[in-house]
Amino acid sequence: MNTVQDNQASQNIGSLARTLPGQVVLVLQGGGALGSYQAGVYQALHEAGIEPDWIIGTSIGAINASLIAGNVPQNRVSRLQEFWKRMEQNPIWSFRDVFPGFNEKLSYWSTVTSGIPGFFRPNPLAHAGNDYPLGAERAGYYSTEPLEQTLTELVDFDLVNKCSPRLTVGAAHVRTSEMRYFDSRDCELGVKHIMASGALPPAFPAVRIDGELYWDGGILSNTPTEAVFDDNPRKNSLIFAVHMWNPSGAEPTTMAEVLNRHKDVQYSSRIASHIARQQQAHRLRHVIGQLAARLPASERNSDAVKELAGYGCPTRMHVVRLLAPQLDRENHTKDIDFSPSGIGQRWDAGYAHTRAVLDRSPWTGEFDPLSGVILHEQMEVMSAAAE
């Protein structure tokens, strides 16, 4: 790139940063191997000079979030690359040219039987019988001790707890079935908090924090955008909500399609209805503010009206939804597709989708003054062939 192009690129990045309508929030779903899509999303943001002020993640989303928050900006992409390189499951033999899709099947069975070095390994005692006393912190088909070592090597938790960016991870409280968001703004986060957010039963055992057991937050809320909407105080925000599970899909006609669609329905977390309710609630908050402003000063300054007006909120939140593509021959095992091709295709898709969104900057322009939550859908979903 020549000097003129360099200057033009710098001007474009600066111009884009000036159009951001508030704090930048990156919301990352759970989804196992599908999480490489999130890494591509972050890379595109990083290259555009946009760093998140707040990252909220569940499960693999919490892991990716910790890799970003726990490293200085210039090292974040390389740390994500190193983590996902460690996750690759390479079969000993390659049949890619002879039997299309067979390598992916080999990768799947290798993951099931042997685990992923640096992530999880089989727990043989889990097969000793359903009533065998494993203990609460070992009751899982796999051990995640390798993940603890990996995160300790790749994440600087002292940096995480400087809260720049703020990091929030979701986990499910085992005894009460309540969602718990561990937030670096409010408490000190460590490797156990990240592991708890990804402790998906029955594969992985629960993780104990402050005497209590936690499972993967995705079993309660796999799309933790609610943490932004419920934050106190609320702020104007540009929210990049990164989704790996498709909320819409065709009617399944085979058992393989049933299993695949079931996972999408289960883990997409009813995001459309959640957004619709938040749009209604924030519209009412804006309406309250408009009504209060129309009252005479004598009424507006009364204690009763001040209390009622306090339910209003002038903040505006732009939600940009990014959706991972369906790959060729994808099935219900996609969340443990740690094959190099699967990881690479999803990473590239996340990068391309985000670049396209940044080029459009849909949050710029005029909007209904009563709209407090504005949803921007991804306009184009890349097919596997396009990738």
**Helix 73-87 vs helix 340-360: angle between axes, to the nearest 10 degrees?**
150
The rounded distance, in Å, linking the Cα atoms of 134 and 204 is 12
d(CA 204, CA 171): 13
* Residue whose entry in the numeric block shows the structure tokens 């993951």: 111
Hunting for tokens 């790749």 — which residue is that?
Answer: 154
- pTM of the model as a whole: 0.89
At 82 the pLDDT is 98
Q: What is the pLDDT of residue 272?
A: 74
The answer to whether 163 and 184 are in contact (CB under 8 A) is: yes
Q: Nearest Cα to 160, choosing from 68, 75, 86?
A: 68
Tens-binned pLDDT, residue by residue, of the chain (387 aa): 444 444 444 455 555 666 799 999 999 999 999 999 999 999 999 999 999 999 999 999 999 999 999 999 999 999 999 999 999 987 655 545 544 556 667 777 888 889 999 999 999 999 999 999 999 999 999 999 999 999 999 999 999 999 999 999 999 999 999 999 999 999 999 999 999 999 999 999 999 999 999 999 999 988 889 899 989 999 999 999 999 999 888 999 999 999 999 999 988 877 778 888 899 999 999 999 999 999 998 888 899 999 999 999 999 999 999 999 988 888 899 999 998 989 999 999 999 999 999 999 999 989 999 999 999 987 544 433 333
Question: What element of type H or E holds 265?
Answer: helix 255-267
pLDDT value of position 100: 54
Q: Is the peptide bond before 233 cis (omega within 30 degrees of 0)?
A: yes
Contacts 24+ apart (CB under 8 A), 11-14: 13/48, 13/49, 14/49
Helix axis angle, 340-360 relative to 102-114, nearest 10°?
Answer: 110
Name the one residue in this structure whose structure tokens are 């390189």. Answer: 85
Q: What are the angstrom distances between the C-alpha of 164 and each of 28, 72, 116, 178, 183?
A: 17, 10, 31, 27, 12
Strands 179-183 and 166-173: antiparallel
- At 128 the three-state DSSP class reads coil
